[in-house]
């Protein structure tokens, strides 16, 4: 029998896709973003399970168990990535953010469902100054109800993802009769020297139409409109260069101050063909927001190219306008990273003889 899984805060479904590839049967996924839910429903080839537009609050109080027809302790894996913007090291503002409490709601759901394993993905900041207290509280509460909690920062580029992307992975393992934990994090599949590059990921795609229309054979493959000034900026840069390489006359007014002082070094830039991409963010559709310029063409990378760099299936379609789609792609867990950690959890469940 397949291993059972519920994916909370599922977004556009990157985590679900990877866990399904690892052998899990996704019985339910939920998210409170209607466009993310519409995206999953537009792709029944990949999301044949029940998909609900719901926040985590509506899943508490036994509701998830009732909807999924599960008993406490029966589910193999509860997975999810609570919204992480409050813990981001790039965020400007006070440390307090209402979204931070969602990680505590998530551990409350763990306490109710009591899955054999739980997985929580978040930004690196969860283990840092902004999020450390919340991570500690999650671990303490999980330990009190019988879990051994493992956490590690994994970099997606080590797992066949053509992108630098460091994320905290928290894995809770429900111990059996006081036994010892078995889970180990996956080893790097693509260490330095074996990385999947930008060229490998998007080099096969044709040039999108100059008109800005979508390519007739590739969904979401179209070029963004650039101002004349931004065209000059992009034309002045070689692959791998950012705003510190621009001549003074092409700098934005705020960028006349050194990046050593104000930061924002990796904006107004191009990717390198034979390196991994920078972290694909929710605004990767604009090269003014990062090194998101195409390595050799005078444009930002397309939505399709961003999806490829996140290792989504090449035929997957997304709901919404350009900004909506970029946000869904940029906020997702890379599919291959999810698959790697899913295989490690599945191997432990098999070793324990705990298939449902």
Single out the catalytic residue among 84, 145, 254, 348.
Answer: 84
Contact 4, 29 (CB under 8 A): no
Domains of the chain: 3-188+334-351 (3.40.50.150), 198-331 (3.90.120.10)
- With 50 as the cut, is the pLDDT of residue 176 above it? yes
- With 60 as the cut, is the pLDDT of residue 261 above it? no
**pLDDT, tens only, 302-322:** 999 999 999 999 999 999 999
Q: Write down the pLDDT at residue 313.
A: 98
- DSSP string covering 200-220, please? HHHTTSPPPPTTSPPPTTSTT
Contact 43, 316 (CB under 8 A): yes
Q: Write down the pLDDT at residue 263.
A: 46
> In this structure, what DSSP letter does residue 241 have?
-
- The pTM score is 0.92
Q: Which residues contact 326 (CB under 8 A, 6 or more apart)?
A: 282, 283, 284, 285, 303, 306
Spell out the alpha helix ranges (H) of the chain.
14-21, 34-41, 63-68, 102-113, 132-144, 198-202, 228-235, 259-262, 303-309, 322-331, 335-351
Mean pLDDT confidence for 159-177? 95
84 in active site: yes
CA distances (Å), 90 to each of 51, 93, 232, in order?
Answer: 32, 10, 28
Q: How far apart are the first and last CA of the chain?
A: 7
Which carries the bigger pLDDT value, residue 20 or residue 179?
20
- With 90 as the cut, is the pLDDT of residue 227 above it? yes
**pLDDT, tens only, 106-134:** 999 999 999 999 999 998 888 666 667 88
- DSSP string covering 155-170, please? EGGGGT-SB--EEEEE
């Amino acid at each position: 029998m397949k291993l059972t899984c519920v994916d909370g805060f599922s977004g556009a479904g990157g985590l679900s896709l990877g866990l399904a590839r690892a052998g899990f049967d996704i019985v339910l996924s939920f998210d409170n973003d209607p466009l993310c839910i519409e995206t999953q429903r537009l792709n029944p080839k990949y999301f044949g399970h029940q998909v609900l537009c719901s926040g985590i609050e509506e899943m508490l109080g036994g509701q998830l168990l009732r909807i999924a027809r599960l008993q406490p302790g029966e589910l193999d894996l509860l997975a999810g990535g609570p919204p992480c913007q409050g813990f981001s090291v790039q965020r400007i503002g006070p440390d307090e953010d209402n979204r931070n409490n969602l990680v505590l709601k998530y551990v409350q759901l763990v306490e109710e469902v009591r899955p054999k394993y739980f997985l929580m993905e978040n930004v690196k900041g969860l283990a840092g100054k902004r999020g450390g207290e919340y991570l500690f509280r999650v671990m303490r509460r999980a330990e009190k109800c019988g879990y051994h909690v493992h956490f590690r920062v994994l970099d997606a580029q080590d797992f066949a993802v053509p992108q630098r992307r460091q994320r905290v992975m928290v894995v809770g393992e429900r111990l059996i009769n006081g036994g010892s934990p078995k889970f180990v994090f996956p080893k790097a599949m693509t260490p330095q020297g074996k990385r999947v590059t930008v060229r490998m990921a998007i080099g096969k795609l044709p040039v999108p139409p100059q008109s800005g229309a979508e390519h007739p054979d590739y969904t979401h493959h179209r070029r963004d409109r650039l101002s004349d000034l931004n065209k000059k900026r992009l034309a002045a840069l070689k692959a791998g260069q950012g705003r510190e390489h621009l001549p003074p006359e092409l700098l934005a007014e705020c960028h006349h101050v050194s990046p050593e002082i104000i930061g924002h070094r990796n904006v107004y830039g191009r990717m390198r063909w034979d390196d991994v991409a920078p972290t694909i963010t929710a605004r990767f559709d604009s090269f003014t927001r990062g090194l998101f310029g195409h390595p050799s063409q005078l444009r930002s990378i397309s939505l399709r190219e961003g999806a490829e760099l996140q290792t989504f299936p090449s035929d997957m379609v997304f709901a919404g306008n350009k900004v909506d789609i970029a946000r869904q792609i940029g906020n997702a867990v890379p599919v291959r990273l999810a698959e790697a950690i899913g295989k490690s959890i599945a191997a432990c469940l098999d070793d324990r003889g705990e298939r449902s």
